[in-house]
Structure 1
Amino acid sequence: MQPTLKPAAEGLRTRVFQIIFESGTPLAKGFDIALIVAILASVGVVLLDSVVPLRVRFGELFYWLEWGFTGLFTLELAMRLYCLERPFRYLRSLYGVIDVIAILPTWLMLLLPGVQSLVVLRLLRVLRVFRVLRLMQFVGEGRLLLDALKRSVRQIFLFFFSIFIVVIIFASAMYLIESPEVGFTSIPQSIYWAIVSLTTVGYGDIVPVTPLGQAITVVLMLIGYSIIAVPTGVFSAQVIRSIREERYSEEACPGCGHDRHERRAKYCLLCGTWLDEETEDPRAWKDADRNDDAPAIDDT
């Protein structure tokens, strides 16, 4: 969770804080958009530098561009720490860790050549686009998916454990049936073949040649096709359950006992009873006022 951040003091630090950490003003939003463009450009430089012909031709340009971006992001991180009341608290947050990871690979390149490819991790900084473009409402949807995933962990674990047993059985059978010359040199090697066949990838580096082995391969592939829907179905069921719990209340109606009402519902869908027991039904007041205004009936 992102901690609550406060500026260090009034004046320049507060102004810098408003520009860097907020997005309510045009200047602050422009800063965030410029930062995102710089992040994407720096990642693009790393990707282009990995292409050998481009690196041979523009290697020096890519090198200085990367150091330029690293210097820019280092200065930006220093400004963030400068304007904060508790800078180390920010460094321990999610965005703070990402900011450090974004500049660390280039500086480590001075000591460990070859780690500059990790610069692509600064692409994580584009997560700030959620704040810039007012997309934070989608965080709730992501939380719903994570909740569904946590609920289905046991079922998915049981599914993968069952698949592991199937893989071991088929791999052991193929190790006994096929010869080492075609690639089945050990049970672990046969496990690799079984996983490739079960997932219907079929690399073709290990292929059974006997009729029995080919028949077993066909059965394993059919099993692979049939089980694809199992984890998807489990996860989908949990997503639906989370959506229902998010939308519906489990409190029963005091009138008829029905317990599947929308959380914003005020009256029971079946019997019309007022659902909020902590407050009085406004219709009761209207009915009482109506009865008070009705003319009295003389029984004499």
Structure 2
Amino acid sequence: MHSPAAHDRDAEHLGRPVQGWRLRLYTVIFEADTRAGHAFDLTLIAMIVLSVAVVVADSIASVHARHGALLGVLEWGFTIAFTVEYVARLACVRRPWLYARSAFGVIDLLAILPSYLVFFFPGANALIDVRVLRLLRIFRLLKLGHYVHEFRALGMALAASRRKILVFLSFVMLVVLVMGTLMYVVEGPDNGFTSIPVGVYWAITTMTTVGFGDVVPKTDLGRVIASMMMLLGWGTLAVPTGIVSAEFTAARVGERPTTRTCHECLSEGHLPTARYCRDCGAPLPAYRRDPDIV
């Protein structure tokens, strides 16, 4: 076990605040297993959902005509609040550039940047459509991954199964390429299959059980192939679900990860008993948790 002095030396080496208001602010913002951190996370979740609701409501012409001014004030209020949060995150870490380059840092920046771009470039239609900047505010939903354990669990399950899913998608692409080419040969341009890409498009819509019906086989052999593709699609859709479900099950068998953050690489989700970061190997800070926070 590390002594308190050794722990402080590790913290200084890793660049995290050792004491003072920055350490207290860091504990509230980044480590949610305390009463203050839990309240901060719940407040941010509510603000994220409400801000996205404002953006969605403002996109409705009738609502914008009647309540546009109010929605604009609310939008700027949320933007200022998220800006303060982003600045606070940068201020309470000793390596702000490392956080700014992380995935969550980029998401936090995307959540506030469009509002300021619209403010500074109100007539920037030639540079970028203002409506696109407004829609980019929906990226605030991605901030929920900061605060909801289930989002982190989903991300970890997808990351753990990415190689299996990649192999599965490679197999699917091989199947649709072969079947699309086969349908192009069987049906031909007279029946709408004017090229191999059109055949591949038909194979994708058929395997995914979408079936737009804009391109359909007319010959008996083509219908047999289409029937096989439809049946294959049912089994195909179940494969990625099973892969991700298996990763979820494996994750639930072990201990539940915490919000404790590595001060070297800023990765989180470490187990309560972990002493070193699973990503970079740096020593982790002591696990702090209020007993009434679940």
Q: TM-score, normalised by structure 1?
A: 0.62
What is the CA-CA distance between 1:227 and the residue it aligns to? Answer: 4.2
Q: Distance in 2 between matches of 1:107 and 1:89?
A: 23
Q: Is 1:128 matched with 2:137?
A: no
Deviations 1:115-136 (A, max 9, x none): 1111111122223324xxxx59
Q: Distance in 2 between matches of 1:33 and 1:126?
A: 10
Correspondent of 1:117 among 129, 135, 150:
135
Q: In structure 2, do the counterparts of structure 1 residues 4 and 103 end up closer, same or farther at CA, with 3 Å as the change threshold?
A: farther
Aligned to 1:207: 216
* 1:153-172 matched pairs, under 5 angstroms: 157=167, 159-172=168-181
Deviations 1:74-109 (A, max 9, x none): 122223333444433432344433322221122233
Q: Distance in 1 between matches of 2:29 and 2:241?
A: 41
Correspondent of 2:197 among 188, 201, 206:
188
What is the CA-CA distance between 1:13 and the residue it aligns to? Answer: 4.7
Q: Is 1:105 matched with 2:114?
A: yes
Q: Is the 8 A contact 2:51 2:78 kept in 1?
A: yes
Q: SS of the residue aligned with 1:99?
A: helix
What is the CA-CA distance between 1:202 and the residue it aligns to? Answer: 1.1
Q: Is the 8 A contact 2:16 2:93 kept in 1?
A: yes
Aligned to 1:6: 16
Q: In structure 2, do the counterparts of structure 1 residues 181 and 4 end up closer, same or farther at CA, with 3 Å as the change threshold?
A: farther
Q: SS of the residue aligned with 1:152?
A: helix
What is the CA-CA distance between 1:47 and the residue it aligns to? Answer: 1.7
- Letter of the 1:102 partner, please give it: A
The structure whose RCO (Cα within 8 Å, separation 6+) is larger is: 2
Aligned to 1:283: none
Aligned to 1:290: none
* 1:66-77 matched pairs, under 5 angstroms: 66-77=75-86
Q: Distance in 1 between matches of 2:32 and 2:254?
A: 30
Aligned to 2:67: 58
Deviations 1:181-204 (A, max 9, x none): 543221211110112112222111
Q: Distance in 2 between matches of 1:84 and 1:168?
A: 50
Aligned to 2:164: 152
Q: Is 1:221 matched with 2:230?
A: yes
Q: SS of the residue aligned with 1:169?
A: helix
- Letter of the 1:120 partner, please give it: I
> Structure 1 regions of 5+ residues with no counterpart?
248-300
Q: In structure 2, do the counterparts of structure 1 residues 71 and 181 end up closer, same or farther at CA, with 3 Å as the change threshold?
A: farther
Q: Distance in 2 between matches of 1:23 and 1:237?
A: 27
RMSD: 3.9
Correspondent of 1:197 among 195, 206, 218:
206
What is the CA-CA distance between 1:216 and the residue it aligns to? Answer: 2.4
Deviations 1:199-254 (A, max 9, x none): 222111112223332232223222333444555566677888x67x979xxxxxxx
Q: Is the 8 A contact 1:13 1:82 kept in 2?
A: yes
Deviations 1:103-162 (A, max 9, x none): 1122233433121111111122223324xxxx59x9679646643x15635xx52x5444
* 1:280-295 matched pairs, under 5 angstroms: none
Aligned to 1:41: 50
Instruction: Give the aligned length.
Output: 234
Q: Is the 8 A contact 1:98 1:124 kept in 2?
A: yes
Q: Is the 8 A contact 1:177 1:213 kept in 2?
A: yes
Q: Which moved more, 1:107-116 or 1:16-25?
A: 16-25
Q: Distance in 2 between matches of 1:230 and 1:162?
A: 11
Q: In structure 2, do the counterparts of structure 1 residues 171 and 89 end up closer, same or farther at CA, with 3 Å as the change threshold?
A: closer
Q: Is the 8 A contact 1:8 1:85 kept in 2?
A: no
- Letter of the 2:64 partner, please give it: R
- Higher-Rg structure is 1
Q: SS of the residue aligned with 1:109?
A: helix
Q: TM-score, normalised by structure 2?
A: 0.63
Q: Distance in 2 between matches of 1:32 and 1:234?
A: 30
Q: Is the 8 A contact 2:186 2:222 kept in 1?
A: yes
Q: In structure 2, do the counterparts of structure 1 residues 6 and 189 end up closer, same or farther at CA, with 3 Å as the change threshold?
A: same
